[in-house]
């Protein structure tokens, strides 16, 4: 892992668009009974910090841009695989009755897939770009974001 090379990343911008567009749509199609109350403050700080860092780092390091096909490209393919599953998860959610159970549902055995899949996508993107800062930001994001979704799922079930 390296500290990365500064420069615009169109690949990072693509990943952020794939992340943000369904979330913007979701603001109009939230599950019935959804609330962000009683979130663990530590997880919330980690989530927000990870969101800011991941979003900024994704576009300021040119290391995430495609460099032609090599064996290392498998990491970029893996990142797109997880992001494609994330898009499919959203399609499934939007086509559902949009209940809390639909929102916190697993996909292919992956718990709280709506939180886990994008974290996996950015994790593999950070490996592809060999940007240690992005890897650290993604881990911070994962702990906070997945932790909050697990907390919400437990509250929704009880």
Indicate the pLDDT class of residue 158, thresholds 50, 70 and 90. low
Indicate the pLDDT class of residue 9, thresholds 50, 70 and 90. very high
pTM equals: 0.94
Indicate the pLDDT class of residue 4, thresholds 50, 70 and 90. confident
CB 78 within 8 A of CB 126: no
What are the domain boundaries of the chain? 10-27+39-157
Q: What is the pLDDT of residues 12-48, one digit of tens each?
A: 999 999 999 999 999 999 998 888 888 999 999 999 9
């Amino acid at each position: 892992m390296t500290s990365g090379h500064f420069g615009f990343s169109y690949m990072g911008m693509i990943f952020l668009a794939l992340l943000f567009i369904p979330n913007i749509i979701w603001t109009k199609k939230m599950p019935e009974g959804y609330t962000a109350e009683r979130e663990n403050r530590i997880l919330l700080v980690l989530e927000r910090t990870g969101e800011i860092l991941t979003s900024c780092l994704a576009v300021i390091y040119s290391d995430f841009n495609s460099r032609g096909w090599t064996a290392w490209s498998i990491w970029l393919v893996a990142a797109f695989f997880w992001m494609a599953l994330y898009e499919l998860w959203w399609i499934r959610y939007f086509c559902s009755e949009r209940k809390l159970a639909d929102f916190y549902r697993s996909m292919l055995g992956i718990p709280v897939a709506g939180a886990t899949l994008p974290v996996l996508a950015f994790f593999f993107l950070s490996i592809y770009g060999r940007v240690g800062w992005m890897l650290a930001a993604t881990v911070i994001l994962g702990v906070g974001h997945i932790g909050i979704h697990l907390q919400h799922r437990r509250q929704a079930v009880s």
